[in-house]
Chains A and B, each alone.
Chain A
Amino acid sequence: MLKIECLNVEIDNKKILKGINLEVNKGEIHAIMGPNGSGKSTLTQTIAGREEYRVTSGSISYKGMDLMKMDPEIRAREGIFAAFQYPIEIPGVNNAYFLRTALNAIQKHKGLEDVDPFNFLKLIKKKMKEIGMNEDMLKRSVNEGFSGGEKKRNEILQLSILQPDLAVLDETDSGLDIDALKIVSEGVNKFHGPEKSIILITHYQRLLDYIKPDFVHVLSNGRIIKSGGSELALELEAKGYDWLNDLSEIEGECK
């Protein structure tokens, strides 16, 4: 589904990602962990197509297509969804209206019929119930005045409505209380399936108690310095990142 090779990314001429290799197949869940500032969000934004994040070398292919040739909205319509670490507020734009517009843009791209307002309302109400969102949120502006946790839930609501093929969830667990963490994880698990892949960025092992990753990667200083199975997360929880520092010179090199 997604194949990243030797990816180098700069912002303002500052090298952030320094040779990332990552392959995500259909149905797989990959967790990415790593210290603050290591480049996790940069990777998310690069996959989503944010222009400021300049790809200086390397490649990303998605469903066999060259992702670099695709505009952000095309990536979205082709099934890439990025849940933002800091979801953006859009004053005056109704949450439900926004989501329906997005859904119909994707439907249109796929050559499918628009979802009419009536069916959309039914769908969204059902999904909101599942993730424990108050229906008032429908009438409010996109993320405006939402609490940190509410914003994260809103991202998951969008995920469950838009039904992408690859979801990149950037610290969707941060800022959630314990109950919310459980509900959001259930939402993600419900979304997941043999055709749906997930990249899960997190600082906390506890999320991985709810969502079982197939692989765990450690991103440090712009490189993936270690990869393993879900047991790696437990090890990180116990030991932190320091013990991995020596590895940073060895792995992840590429031209």
Chain B
Amino acid sequence: MLELKNISFSVREDGMTKEIIRNVSMTIPDEKLVVITGPNGGGKSTLARLIAGIEKPTEGKIFLNGEDITEKSITERARMGIGFAFQQPVRFKGIQVLDLIRLATGKHLAVADACEYLSAVGLCAKDYIDREVNSSLSGGELKRIEIATVLAKASVLSVFDEPEAGIDLWSFQNLIQVFEDMRKHIAGSSILVISHQERILNIADEIIVLKDGQLITHGSRDEVLPQLSGDTTAVAGCCRLGGLAELRELKGEDFRC
């Protein structure tokens, strides 16, 4: 269980204080898949980075299974069981996919076992296992490898920042499958996904809406989904910023952005 208590995060920019996260409190319960959605620039990635320890909150505290981890480093949090798939995965010259998967598991994994993680994200393992994680990979390939490393890490809390970004429609089916499978095998862990995708929202146990750095809504899927599609202002906000377009289409409603 992850708890954020009154988390705020601000940065100094041009001599001004810019508030990016404003007094956010939330709980990610055990064995739940929670999706955070909301307009671009709303602070979702920042929140994920705060959870992973890449940024430190200006105010507030973070607890993992009751333990205060606010001052813990990225490494310590990773070892305590937090996994994080970046919105924009990092490229490395010379490091191979196999190396990354092995580092993620912390074991000298057999090649065949490493390949399973690639297959799970819909990559033909033998074509990718030896590839370098460099600029020769497309954005979509990189994104799926990023997801594979987080699967391989087998965390207590896995955070995925817009896993669908840059993934084509065909692979998207496969991606949904990945999260459905994770949901099925969630025992002993929880999953936090930042997403705009209807189909990911549809498998959420809970949905959180974050906007302008503030938590707007947090409830079960059945409570929040109707609000998202029905509330014109929410949809307009999302349309303006490129989110939930698919949702609109699937609902067959005609919102003009």
A and B together in one complex: no
Chain A contacts to B: CB under 8 angstroms: none
B residues engaging A (CB < 8 A)? none
